[in-house]
Amino acid sequence: MDLKGRFRYIFFDADDTLWENERYFRAAEAKFTALLSAYASKERTQEVLALKQEDNIPLFGYGSKTYMTGMTDAAIEICGGSITEEIYYGIKEIITTLAFHELQIIDGVEEVLQKLQGHYILVAATKGDLTEQMGKFRKSGLAKYFHHCEVMENKDEKNYLELTAKHDIRPEELLMIGNSVKSDIAPVVNIGGHAIHVPHEVVWVHEMMDMPESDRIIEVKSIRDILEILL
């Protein structure tokens, strides 16, 4: 599908589209299961942590702070109702490392943004904790290519409709580029927009879903491939 000249704006997901993210959460999870290895198996700890995350995300949103709450809740359950000082500070250290890790830009991203800049208005559209996400955006060095960064409460149909209204475009004029089928692809096409799926080898289980069928979805192998579609 040729999308050249059909859009004023291009919206880019951030985590695992512009920079690496999920692999750091996987590393944090591995440290957490090791921390609790005297109390439960790796599989049991992962299961309880996933359940606590599902409980906490609707209340507190996305990000490392919610992950710390989930880890603390999971540890309390696994340890029988209370945790030691060692485990508490162990969790805190894991989350501190996660929140302040070195930002790694995904290969090809800067080249693509350089070439698209000037042809389209580029907007980063991410979700999660405002302070955390804006901190990563500024730290990334990519802000110079973007008009601005939108930190969305969530990425569902309602939020995307609010995004189109804010930028005074119709839903069919929305083009989203991202790695998550659940957050970046499905809700966009559900409101009539277009989406380009750029896969990432590591996908958070919370974001997994089957790709919907739509002639408004383009799947590419790498971020560089979008240049043939848009320029």
Instruction: State residue 67's pLDDT score.
Output: 92
- Where is average pLDDT lowest: 57-71, 139-153, 193-207? 193-207
| Structural domain includes residue 1 | no
Q: Which of 13, 127, 133 is nearest to 61 (CA)?
A: 127
CATH label of the domain that carries residue 208: 3.40.50.1000
**What are the pLDDT digits (tens) for 13-28?**
999 999 999 999 999 9
Q: What is the pTM of this model?
A: 0.90
Residues 6+ apart with CB under 8 A from 117: 145
Do 139 and 87 sit in the same domain of this protein? no
CATH code of the domain covering residue 41: 1.10.150.240
Of 99, 117, 140, which one is at a domain's C-terminal end? 99
Please provide the average confidence, as pLDDT, over all residues in the chain. Answer: 93
* Residue 206 confidence (pLDDT): 65
Q: How many domains does the chain have?
A: 2
Whether 45 is in a domain gets the answer yes
**Same domain (yes/no): 84, 41:** yes
| Residue in this structure with the two tokens 């080249």, named with its chain if needed | 111
| Confidence at 204, pLDDT banded by 50, 70, 90 | low
Spatial CB neighbours of 182, under 8 Å, sequence gap ≥ 6: 155, 206, 207, 208, 209
What's the CA dihedral at 203, 225, 172, 207 to 10 degrees? Answer: 0
End-to-end Cα spacing for the chain: 12
Kindly state whether residue 191 falls inside one of the protein's structural domains: yes
Amino acid of residue 75: A
Count of residues in the chain: 231
Q: What's the confidence (pLDDT) of residue 101?
A: 85
Residue 228 CB neighbour total at 10 angstroms: 10
Its domain, for residue 15, covers: 9-19+104-230
Please tell me the least confidently modeled range out of 50-59, 76-85, 121-130, 168-177.
50-59
